[in-house]
Structure 1
Amino acid sequence: MPFRKLGLFGAKVLVAASCVIPANAGDVEIVDATARQSGNSWIFSVTLKHGDTGWDHYADLWQVFSPNGQLLGERVLLHPHVEEQPFTRSLSGVEIPDEVDEVVIRARDSVHGVAEQEYRLTLPR
């Protein structure tokens, strides 16, 4: 039997190699989000998690919408965050109408587009 020649170390390597799951960045995930009012506008901090692989596949945008779908603000992410996961980025100067007490945050990656996940955030008014 050819596996007998592998020895204990070789057998462990073979088992470990057969258990490796191929890397797949998949959809971007919104892990957390906060909002705070600053004068007449709002500052949002959004934490994303994504298996960024480099310039060909990375989380590249998150957006803030009103519950009725009006785009209120967006943060473009200009580079991959391969070694920084999850990561948080902020956006200031977002104007929110007084009657809006909840927002919807969506995120996008450069391969899959906008993820299905919607993160609902109640504004601390």
Structure 2
Amino acid sequence: MVRLVVSALLCLYPLAAAADPPEIVGAKATPTGAVWRVEVTLSHPDTGWEHYADGWEILAPDGSRLGFRELLHPHVDEQPFTRALSGVAIPDGVNKVTIRARCSRDGWSDDTYTLPLTR
């Protein structure tokens, strides 16, 4: 019986380890002339170089990528953390964008964040 329980727990361990995708806890966009500056606040249980939130992207309503912010190092002791991307060209008529975060181990999160734009 103990062997069965241990086996079941070992099978579930990879699911628990992958259960915490990067979470976008806030974002804001500021127009700067013809382009935008987008700030995104992420939370993720970074453990070090082997597993950390390593980027986020800004998507137009049609799914096209408007910008990508690569995160170059883990933020183990800085959670949540905010990083910005400047020079984002957002077409006229677009009144909201979608932001999606990525993890170095698990890839793109299924969760997204919708950011309304004020022009």
Shared fold, TM over 0.5: yes
Structure 1 residues 85 and 98, CA, compared in 2 at 3 Å: closer, same or farther? same
- Structure 1 CA distance for aligned equivalents of residues 65 and 72 of structure 2: 20
**Partner SS, residue 53 of structure 1:** coil
Query: Structure 2: which 5+ residue stretches go unaligned?
Result: 1-15
TM (normalized to structure 2)? 0.84
**In 1, distance between residues paired with 2:22 and 2:116?**
21
For 1:23 and 1:118, how far apart are their aligned partners in 2?
A: 20
In the alignment, is residue 104 of structure 1 matched against residue 94 of structure 2?
Answer: no
Structure with greater strand percent: 2
Between structure 1 and structure 2, the one with the greater Rg is: 1
Give the total of aligned pairs.
104
3-state SS, counterpart of residue 37 of structure 1: strand
The aligned counterpart of 2:29 is 35
- Would you say the 8 A contact 2:18–2:106 is kept in 1? no
User: What are the ranges of 5 or more consecutive residues in structure 1 without an aligned counterpart?
Assistant: 1-21
Give TM-score scaled by structure 1 length.
0.80
Residue of structure 1 equivalent to 2:75: 81
In structure 2, distance between residues paired with 1:78 and 1:99:
33
Question: How far did 1:124 drift?
Answer: 1.0
